[in-house]
Amino acid sequence: MAEEKKKSFFDRIGNLFSNKEELAKTAEAKRKAAELAEQQQKAIKAAADKQAADKMAKARQEAAELAVKQQESIQAEVTKKAEEAKAAAAAKVDEVVQAAKQEAEEVVEKVAFSPAAVVATHTVGANETLSHIALRYYGHATPPYYKLIYEFNKDVIGENMNVIRAGQVLQIPQLPQELVK
């Protein structure tokens, strides 16, 4: 029986040592598992950070592309509006010019057909110009005066006011109020 006690005592000590090793192995395994779990967490966090950075970069690129498209669209719209405004302004200028031409033609017609507007009849002499004639009748040889004679006699003179021929008979119109000095 004492031997049995001895065995059991020795067995117990052996069991204690074997449990200690198992406990150490278990503790080591737990530590390695914890390290492995920590490494996995770091790897997962790094992957998530990379994925977030990639998404952010992609979002920035898409925003930049969208901004460029919007800028191009705005620039096209501004160009279109400018062209429309330019065309409208040109049409308005043409309209005003046509109205002014028509008004001028009406004034010339009124002056041309008014017998009271003729103050004299002049037969063009050799080497005479409209300036000479304007100076003789109005006392001025400047463009407003000789152009008045030309416009009044355009049907006799023709399209070129610088070409008048000796023998042409011109009517000298009365000066309008703005040219009387």
**Would you give the end-to-end CA distance of the chain in angstroms?**
161
pLDDT value of residue 7: 60
pLDDT value of residue 1: 52
- Residue 104's alpha-carbon distances to 26, 101, 117, 148, 157, in angstroms, are 114, 5, 16, 12, 19
| Mean pLDDT estimate for the chain | 86
pLDDT value of residue 105: 79
Least confident range from 22-26, 49-53, 125-129: namely: 22-26
Least confident range from 58-62, 83-87, 101-105, 119-123: namely: 101-105
Across 3-12, 43-52, 105-114, the highest mean pLDDT is recorded for 43-52
Distance CA 61, CA 71 (A): 15
Residue 84 vs residue 180, higher pLDDT: 84
Distance CA 148, CA 108 (A): 9
* Average of per-residue pLDDT across 43-59: 89
Quick one: fold of 118-179? Membrane-bound Lytic Murein Transglycosylase D; Chain A (3.10.350)
* Average of per-residue pLDDT across 135-159: 95
Non-local CB neighbours of 146 within 8 Å, separated by 6+ positions: 129, 130, 131, 133, 134, 161
Q: Are 164 and 130 in contact (CB under 8 A)?
A: yes
Q: How confident is the model at residue 63 (pLDDT cuts 50, 70, 90)?
A: confident
